[in-house]
Amino acid sequence: MSPAEIVKVNPTTPEKPLIKRAAEILLQEGLVAFPTETVYGLGANALDEKAILKIFEVKNRPSDNPLIIHISKIADLYLLSNNVVPIVEKVVKKFWPGPLTVVLPRSEIVPDAPVAGLPTVAVRMPNHPVARSLISAADVPIAAPSANLAGRPSPTSATHVVNDIGEKIDMVLDGGEIIYGVESTVVDFTSSPPMVLRPGPITVEELRKEIPELEVHPAVKGDVKTEVLAKSPGMKYRHYAPKAELIVVEGSKEHIREKVQEIVNLRKKEGKSVAVISTVENAPNYRADVVKIVGKRNDLREIAKNFFRILRELDIEGVESAVVEGIKPVGIGLAVMNRLKKAAGGKTIRTD
């Protein structure tokens, strides 16, 4: 296959002819990568099993890991599920369009392929003009996982997409920067009470205002064996991993710096090249081969936005180890810590 056509698109008012062409590709079993407000997605017609199988192949995604189906209007939720209960209606009215995915029982029009044979379907209505106009132009629900190779950090720029899968898809719509940098919050409404399976930009705190009884799956914090507990198939795989070993240090602001430097020194003694992923405040104090700055300690939104890009940069620097300052697991910080711990595959150290 020839490499993807890479096209710049206006992120606020997408060019109509361009969107029309991308939609035609989707309707002919093609794959189009496009920006959403969270990360870049790899789109295919959700109702076309052949197109969906291509997604799994291109991403090298395990076939038991279901995809999120994207829609451009709330009415389409009722096509994908016959069980939209009042609490779901309330929540989607509040947070859609936006970075929230709801898991519901699936209707008979949803094929097996996108949901990996599950009785449920995950649905989201994104809030990005390019994503919305593309889905609406195609006029079919669009399955769209993050547009990275399975196991790699999610793409927050078109370049990340091209580097991972550019040779194997039809088109990349380059809409520049994304807004959040971590994937949507996934809430399962088939369990009672509803349960957060993946934390994201719509925070647990915000959701609890609408659903006081909401629970957070124990695997979300990354401190338990996810294989045993995995409810969402995506929870059990090691994700987001750079080639370097990743070590996360958690704890209070005062102690974290000392501990991070201690681990860097340990790895340096072993002859390894080591990076630190640091907040702005601590960066000048580190002695390491590379220091990457992720954002101000209290600006969790900024940290979320930079985080996947920095994981990818570690590969470019070619370091063998990276020690990362943990951040507060509140608000969008919970999503960042969740991805970070998955990337570290269990190498987490607490200072207190």
Q: Does 120 bind ligand TXA (CB under 6 A)?
A: yes
What residues between 274 and 313 interact with ligand TXA by CB under 6 A?
A: none
Q: What gap in Å lies between CA 213 and CA 28, rounded to an integer?
A: 44
Cα–Cα distance list, 185 to 60, 144, 198, 279 (Å): 23, 15, 5, 24
Contact region with ligand TXA (CB under 6 A), list: 226-234, 257-265, 290-298, 339-347: 226-234
Instruction: Read off the tokens for 298.
Output: 């209290």
Q: In b/e form, how buried is each residue of 89-105, taking b as 16+ CB within 10 angstroms?
A: eebbeebbbbbbbbbbb
Q: Does 52 bind ligand TXA (CB under 6 A)?
A: no
Neighbouring C-beta atoms of residue 82, cutoff 10 Å: 12
Binding string, 123-162, against ligand TXA, x = CB under 6 A?
Answer: -x-x-----------------xxx----------------
What residues between 127 and 146 interact with Mg ion by CB under 5 A?
A: 146
The binder of 153, among ligand TXA, Mg ion, none, by C-beta within 5 to 8 A per type, is none
If the CB atoms of residues 152 and 259 are measured against ligand TXA, the closer one turns out to be: 152
Q: Does 261 bind ligand TXA (CB under 6 A)?
A: no
Q: What gap in Å lies between CA 287 and CA 298, rounded to an integer?
A: 23
DSSP code of residue 120: E
Distance of CA 286 to the CA centre of its chain: 29
Contact region with ligand TXA (CB under 6 A), list: 11-19, 228-236, 270-278, 305-313: 228-236
Neighbouring C-beta atoms of residue 228, cutoff 10 Å: 9
Backbone phi and psi for residue 237, each to the nearest 5 degrees, phi listed first:
-90, 150
Among positions 39, 102, 162, 247, the unique one binding ligand TXA when judged by CB under 6 A: 39
Among positions 33, 84, 158, 186, the unique one binding ligand TXA when judged by CB under 6 A: 186
The binder of 120, among ligand TXA, Mg ion, none, by C-beta within 5 to 8 A per type, is ligand TXA
Closest to 131 (Cα-Cα) out of 94, 100, 98, 167: 98
Binding string, 144-173, against Mg ion, x = CB under 5 A?
Answer: --x---------------------------
**Residue nearest to ligand TXA as judged by C-beta position:** 234
| Site residue total, Mg ion (CB under 5 A) | 1
